[in-house]
Structure 1
Amino acid sequence: MATIKDVAKEAGVSVATVSRVINKSPKASAASIESVTSAMKKLGYRPNANARALVSQSTNTVGVLVSDVSDPFFGTMVKAVDKVAHQHGKHILVGNGYHDAEEERKAIELLINSRCDALVIHSKALSDEELIQYAEEVKGLVYINRDIPQLPGRCISLDNYKGAYIATEHLIRNGHTNIACVASSHNIEDVDQRLEGYRDALKANNIKLSASYIEYGSPDSDGGEIAMTNLLTKSLPITAVVAYNDNMAAGSLSVLEENQYALPNQMSIIGFDDGLIAKYLHPKLTTIRYPIQMMAEKAAQIALALSKSESVETDPMIYSPTLVQRASVGRKN
């Protein structure tokens, strides 16, 4: 394998000159650029990325941590960060945390050790204290879907409570009182916040339901199928369902259709996220919009600004969810 010394010898220049060409120094002459580039091509030499980073103090990369990149929600997040990164001439490195503390920790450590210029982190399993330590270590680090009071201006989150409250209230306004909840089994704050919003909306409208109206499953279509099946076996007088996300709503819809429920006449359902799937279900899914693309773009912009020691707003950034009405909610007569 060719070395930088081999390139210098082939080009008839010093190692320092090769280094200047590789790192695009303005001191490199046109003649040296041409001779070094020709030598590198002839010898098949590729500059070492880490060595270049040490010289330029930049790897031109943005690190991103998600739960699972195969989830369309996180795919949207990654694409949004990548869009901003490209606008700044950078690429992204992606890690999966799977809502597991050790996996999240290992992924964050890897991204930091890879000397990413900025980091956009979606962490739900690690404590505030540990995340604060990472933020103190890396100036260009921003957390998404997390609100840590000690890190104003470096956290972007959604009001999950409000979203679930709006969803439940929408069903109530359509005459529903026997409203079930298909919740995620993941032990994260989003689940607690959305359950609280669901319960408080019922309470505000003087609706009392037992805990039997809540079923849990993994936050995907399979989990939605299991939770919905469990609800139906209880023979409860359910007329509407609030789902943790659109994927769980999709699984629930599948089970309802298999059991010959007329939707939305016999059963109404509302999702959360407003992912791509919501538009293509039958009936099209009424849902709560989670502006993850907007939030991720903002997170990337702030992370890059912080990495360059530029000033940013220090106010908490908590986005509001909105209702998207389609065809999966019917009026209860």
Structure 2
Amino acid sequence: MANIKDVAKVAGVSIATVSRVINQGDKVNAQTRDRVTRAMQQLGYRPNANARALVTQKSATLGVVIPELTDPFFAALASGVDNVAKENNLQLLLSTGMGSEESELSALNVLLDRNCDAIVMHSKHISSKKLQDLMALHSGLILIDRLVPETIERCVWLDNIEGGRIAARHFLALGHNRFACISSEYEIEDPRLRLHGFKECLAEQGVNNAAIPVSFGAPNQQGGEIAAQQLLTEGHRFSALFVYNDAMASGAISTLEDNGYRVPEDISVIGFDDVILASYTRPKLTTMHYPIHTMAKQAAQMALQRVSSDATDASTTKGKYLPRLVKRASCARR
């Protein structure tokens, strides 16, 4: 396997000159740079990224922390960060931490221990104060799907309250007046905010929030099935069902139809996230589009900008996104 000495010999230059070319130094003329590059290609020489990082004091990596790999939502998030990594010739480092502050901190430390200085982090369990401390220590740390007001310029987030309001307005426009909700049992802010926006909008139109039943479950298809069964077992009557995410909505539709209800003829259903699953449920799911892939790309670009020597002030970056209603076949007029 060729090494830097071999490249220097073939190119007819010093090892220091090869190093400057590898590390994009500006003290090499174009002719010499071209000769070194051709020698590297001829020999199949690939610079060691870790060694290069020691010289440039810049990591050749871009990191992302997500809760899990199997959820399509988090896969889309990771894909967005990966797109930016590839555009910048960087290696993606991925770490997972779910369910607790300790787990999320451990996932972050895995990346920091590998000298990854530009990181996009999805965190729901680390306290806002702790996140502020971490961002003060690590300039390239950007939060996604989380707003910490004190560090708003380092956050990329969705207006979940408005998402709930949009769903409620759509049901009202279709003439519905009997509502139910299925939400995540996880104690994080997203389900609480979506539910708050939904109920707030209905209350403004005279709907009694106390009369809207809410069933909770794990944020997956099985959780949606169980939560929908609970609503039916308890005897609640409703024609419009707002569900925390698309996976739960898919499970809920399965339960409704197993119990003789037709969607959307008897019960209309709105999900949230607009993952690929939403286009393949039967009926196809009306849902709130969450532009997580686009948001992840912006967060990754912000992280790289903050660790770049020529970074501009990132405080002007607007990190707030709005969800969008995607009308499919799971809703009907009453």
Q: What is the TM-score with the length of structure 1 in the denominator?
A: 0.87
Cα root mean square deviation, aligned: 2.9
- Structure-to-structure mapping, 1:113-132, within 5 angstroms: 113-132=113-132
1:320 Cα deviation from its structure 2 partner: 1.2
The total of aligned residue pairs comes to: 327
- Give 2:230's aligned residue: 230
Q: Which deviations, in whole Å up to 9, do the C-alpha atoms of 1:21-61 show, x marking residues without a partner?
A: 765666688888888998997xxxx8664333111212221
Partner of 1:170: 170
**Mapped contact 1:77–1:292 kept (Cα < 8 A):** yes
Q: 1:81 — aligned with what?
A: 81
Assess if the C-alpha contact under 8 Å between 1:184 and 1:217 holds in 2. Answer: yes
Match of 1:326 in 2: 328
TM-fit CA distance, 1:175: 2.0
What percentage of aligned pairs have identical amino acids? 40
Correspondence for 1:311: 313
Q: State the alpha-carbon separation in 2 of the partners of residues 118 and 180 from structure 1.
A: 42
1:47–1:84: structure 2 CA closer, same or farther, 3 Å change rule? closer
1:206 maps to a residue whose letter is: G
Does structure 2 retain, via aligned residues, the 8 Å contact 1:18–1:36? Answer: no
Report how far residue 188 of structure 1 moved: 0.6
Deviation at 1:201, TM superposition (A): 2.1
Separation in 2, partners of 1:292, 1:6: 46
Distance 1:35 1:320 in 2: 51
The residue type equivalent to 1:287 in the other structure is T
**Mean Cα deviation higher: 64-73 or 205-214:** 205-214
What runs of 5+ residues in structure 2 fail to find an aligned partner? none
Q: Distance in 1 between matches of 2:239 and 2:4?
A: 75
Q: Residues 250-288 of structure 1: CA distance to partner in whole angstroms, max 9, x if unpaired?
A: 111111121221111111100011111111111111111
TM-score under structure 2 normalisation?
0.87
1:137-169 deviation line (CA, Å, top 9, x unaligned): 121221111111111321111110110121122
Q: 1:85 to 1:5 in 2, by over 3 A?
A: closer
What is the alpha-carbon distance in structure 1 between the residues aligned to residue 290 and residue 35 of structure 2? 54
Write the distance in 1 (CA, Å) between the matches of 2:97 and 2:114: 17
In 1: Cα distance, 2:304 partner to 2:294 partner: 16
Task: State the alpha-carbon separation in 1 of the partners of residues 234 and 282 from structure 2.
Answer: 25
Rounded Cα–Cα distance in structure 2 between residues aligned with 1:328 and 1:183: 18
Could you tell me how far apart the structure 2 residues matched to 1:155 and 1:182 are?
28
Amino acid corresponding to residue 331 of structure 2 in structure 1: V
User: 1:184 maps to what in 2?
Assistant: 184
Whether 2:120 is the aligned partner of 1:91: answer no
2-side partners of 1:70 and 1:140: how far apart? 26
Gaps in structure 1 of 5+ consecutive residues: none
